[in-house]
Structure 1
Amino acid sequence: MALLEIKNLTLFIDTGDETVKALDKVNLRLDEGEIKALVGESGSGKTLIVRAILGAIPDTWSIKADRITYQGKSMQDMSPEQRRQIMRREIAVVFQEPASALDPSVKIKEQIKESIPDEFIEKAWPWQQSKQREALAISLLHRVGIKNHGRYMNCYPHEIPADVCQKIMIAMALASEPKILIADDSTRGMESATKTQILRLLLKFNKTKKLAILFVSHDLLAITSMAHSMTVLYCGQTVESGKVKSLLKRPLHPYTKALLDSAPSFQVSLAPKSKLVALDGTIPTLQHLPIGCRLGPRCPNARKECVIVPSPRSIQDHLYSCHFPLHLPKSAKRKSIKVVSL
Structure 2
Amino acid sequence: MLHLRAVCPAERTEAALDVLRRHAGATHLVLLRGAAVEPPGDLVEADVAREATDEILAALCELGIDRDGGVTLEVIDTSLSDHADRAEEAAPGDGSDAIVWEELISRTGEESKPSWTFQAFLTIACLLAAVGIATDSPVTIVGAMVVGPEFGPLAAIAVGLVARRWDLVKRAAVALGIGFPVAMAVTAVFALAGAFTGLFDRAAVFGDQHQVDFIYDLSAYSLIVAMLAGAAGVLSLTSAKSAALVGVFISVTTVPAAGYAALASVLGEWDRAGKSLLQLLINLIGIVAAAALVLLIRRRGATDGVTTRPLSSG
Q: Same fold (TM over 0.5)?
A: no
TM-score normalised by the chain length of structure 1: 0.25
Greater percentage in strand: 1
More helix by share: 2
With structure 2 as the length reference, what TM-score do the two structures score?
A: 0.27
